[in-house]
C-alpha cells in the first residue's frame, strides 16, 4: 500500500501500475497540467478535461471526462452518465478503470475529451 497523491489514504500497488498507464494516456496530448487536489487529480488544458479518483476498496480508478454522455454508447460497469449526480471532480462521463483492458477501451474517450477541450 502506498499513500494516495491526493491524501485520500492508502492505494494498493496494483492500482499504482494502472494509474501510471492512465497518467501516460492523459498526458500524451501535449501541454497538460496535472494538479493533485485534496480528493482527486485534475488534468487540465484550458479547462479541466479529466479528473481521476482512486477507489482502493473496489480496486478501481474512476475517471471523469468532460464529454457529453449522450454522445457515448454507455456500457454497464464501465461508463456512466453523471449529468445529475453529484461527484468529486469535473466531467459528466464516469469511466471505471479496473484493468489495462479497460484503459485500452477508454483511450478513444480520452482522445475525444482532449480534442474537444
Listed in order, strand segments (DSSP E) in the chain are: 2-3, 10-11, 33-36, 41-44, 48-55, 60-65, 79-81, 93-97
The residues spanned by each domain of the chain are 2-116
CB 91 within 8 A of CB 50: yes
Q: What pLDDT score does 69 carry?
A: 94
CB 81 within 8 A of CB 3: no
pTM: 0.87
Retrieve residue 2's grid coordinates: 502506498
* Number of continuous H segments (helices) and E segments (strands) in the chain: 2, 8
Q: What pLDDT score does 13 carry?
A: 81
The Cα 94–Cα 32 span in angstroms is 20
Dump the DSSP string for 13-38: HHHHHHHHHHHHHHH-SSS-EEEE-S
What are the tens digits of pLDDT across the range 36-92? 998 899 999 888 999 999 998 888 999 999 999 999 999 999 999 998 887 888 889
With cell 484550458, the residue in question is 46
DSSP 50: E
Q: Which CATH architecture has domain 2-116?
A: Alpha-Beta Complex (3.90)
Amino acid at each position: 500500500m502506498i499513500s494516495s497523491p491526493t491524501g485520500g489514504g492508502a492505494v494498493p500497488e496494483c492500482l499504482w501500475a494502472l494509474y501510471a498507464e492512465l497518467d501516460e494516456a492523459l498526458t500524451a496530448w501535449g501541454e497538460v497540467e496535472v494538479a493533485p487536489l485534496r480528493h482527486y487529480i485534475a488534468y487540465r488544458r484550458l479547462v479541466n478535461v479529466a479528473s481521476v479518483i482512486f477507489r482502493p476498496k473496489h480496486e478501481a480508478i474512476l475517471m471523469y471526462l468532460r464529454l457529453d454522455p449522450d454522445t457515448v454508447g454507455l456500457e454497464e460497469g464501465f461508463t456512466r452518465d453523471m449529468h445529475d449526480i453529484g461527484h468529486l471532480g469535473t466531467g459528466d462521463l464516469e469511466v471505471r478503470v479496473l484493468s489495462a483492458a479497460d484503459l485500452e477501451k477508454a483511450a478513444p474517450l480520452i482522445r475525444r475529451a482532449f480534442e474537444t477541450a
